[in-house]
Amino acid sequence: MGIITVLDEETISHIAAGEVVERAASVVKELVENAIDADAHRIKIELFADSTAVTRIIVTDDGIGMSEEDALLVFRQHATSKISRPSDLAAIATLGFRGEAMASIAAVSQVTLVTKERGSSSPAACRVTIHGGELIECTAAGAPEGTSVLVEGLFYNTPARRKFQKSVATELSHIYDMVERLALAHRSISFVLLYQGKERFRTYGNGSYADVIAAVFGATFAKELVPVEGTYGLVKVSGLITRPGSEMKTTPSRFYLSINHRQISSRSIQWAVREGYGTLLPKGMYPAAFLDLAIDPRDVDVNVHPTKKEVRLSRERDVQRGVQDAVYCALHDSPVFSATKPAE
């Protein structure tokens, strides 16, 4: 007798959820990324917590919304509107594409989704409630165009994962960091983040990097940065970095990178930034850097990491060189730096 069985849907969804939904911040990331992919201009993130956990996450957007048919498909595993064939994986332009996030979130929490398709002639929006992956109800509701997702009781049915959640303060700080990164990578979208009904920060969606940095970190900090702009080899770089002589940190805590609008972490690009500073960087110190790289999507493989935190670059060395040159040129053109340069 064989001992192998093919796992049932519920078990599969719990395994998948384990990869995608590590903590409350992962839920926020996936919901906000869906709003961005849905062409939202405004995204509101509301958080509520009691003394032990983040109890409610609500993400509301004014994006394209969904039909009733799609609103039910959202929660199916591998259901996505973003790709349809293997060749689509070669050049992904959206943040999502696996069709796993909503199914994973719904498997380990209680979700209420209210959505209304943009331009729809129907007066009503559609409300879908789903608990632990089980559909509870699907009804008509009144709501503006766009989508609102409420997630409650995260990990209520996965005690092992719930036990590993840190204090509310720690979980909140992960969420804030995530929203800040998303707002920094999507400057044409207005973000507002509220905790217990109180506004934490708001960006205006006017496209300005400096304005988003000022909204998140304060205007004084934003003034200490130098712009980086231009195409260097195969990479178009834009952003802001610490002006030499300004305060630097001993850790790379303010390193914000996005490649083709996907916020990611990359040690190799971080290295390239420091190389660009060269001798302008005091030993052991890290500048702040807010950089957007535009690279031909065919040279970027995003299908590497379950949460897409890292990407693989097919011509990494060339990208590093481009970033290094961009940083070097920005610093050597910087008026403050030129002013302190000895006369030639």
Binding test (CB under 6 A) with ligand ADP, winner from 21, 24, 29, 30:
30
Q: How near is the Cβ of 294 to ligand ADP at its closest, in Å?
A: 22
Which token pair is 3? 């001992």
Phi, psi dihedral angles at 26 (to 5 degrees): -65, -35
How far is it, in rounded angstroms, from Cα 42 to Cα 63? 8
Comparison of 79 and 214: residue with beta carbon closer to Mg ion: 79
User: By Cβ distance, which residue is nearest to ligand ADP?
Assistant: 96
Amino acid letter, 21:
V
Reduced to 3 states (helix: H, G, I; strand: E, B; else coil), residue 117 is coil
Select from ligand ADP, Mg ion, none the partner in contact with residue 111, using the beta carbon and a kind-dependent cut-off of 5 to 8 Å.
none
Residue count, binding to Mg ion (CB under 5 A): 3
Tell me which residues in 103-122 interact with ligand ADP (CB under 6 A).
103
By CB under 6 A, is residue 66 in contact with ligand ADP? yes
| CB-based contact 64:118 (threshold 8 Å) | yes
Q: How many helices (H) and strands (E) does the chain have?
A: 11, 15
Max CA separation in the chain (angstroms):
86
By CB under 6 A, is residue 34 in contact with ligand ADP? yes
Residue count, binding to ligand ADP (CB under 6 A): 24
Comparison of 39 and 318: residue with beta carbon closer to ligand ADP: 39
Q: How near is the Cβ of 233 to ligand ADP at its closest, in Å?
A: 31
How far is it, in rounded angstroms, from Cα 105 to Cα 326? 40
By CB under 6 A, is residue 96 in contact with ligand ADP? yes
Which token pair is 341? 């340069």
**CB contact set of 190 (below 8 Å; sequence gap of 6+):** 41, 42, 43, 202, 203, 204, 205
How far is it, in rounded angstroms, from Cα 85 to Cα 89? 8
By CB under 5 A, is residue 34 in contact with Mg ion? yes
Q: How many residues does the chain have?
A: 344
With CA atoms as reference, report the closest residue to 201 among 211, 189, 191, 209. Answer: 191
Select from Mg ion, ligand ADP, none the partner in contact with residue 80, using the beta carbon and a kind-dependent cut-off of 5 to 8 Å.
ligand ADP
How far is it, in rounded angstroms, from Cα 53 to Cα 162? 9
Tell me which residues in 95-114 interact with Mg ion (CB under 5 A).
96, 101
| CB-based contact 226:214 (threshold 8 Å) | no
Q: How near is the Cβ of 43 to ligand ADP at its closest, in Å?
A: 9
Q: How near is the Cβ of 260 to ligand ADP at its closest, in Å?
A: 16
Select from ligand ADP, Mg ion, none the partner in contact with residue 200, using the beta carbon and a kind-dependent cut-off of 5 to 8 Å.
none
Q: How near is the Cβ of 154 to Mg ion at its closest, in Å?
A: 17
Stretch that binds ligand ADP, among 33-41, 122-130, 283-291, 325-333 (CB under 6 A): 33-41
Comparison of 80 and 242: residue with beta carbon closer to Mg ion: 80
Q: State which H helix or E strand residue 211 sits in.
A: helix 209-217
| Interface contacts to Mg ion, rule CB under 5 A | 34, 96, 101
| Interface contacts to ligand ADP, rule CB under 6 A | 30, 34-35, 37-38, 61, 63-66, 74, 79-82, 96-103, 147
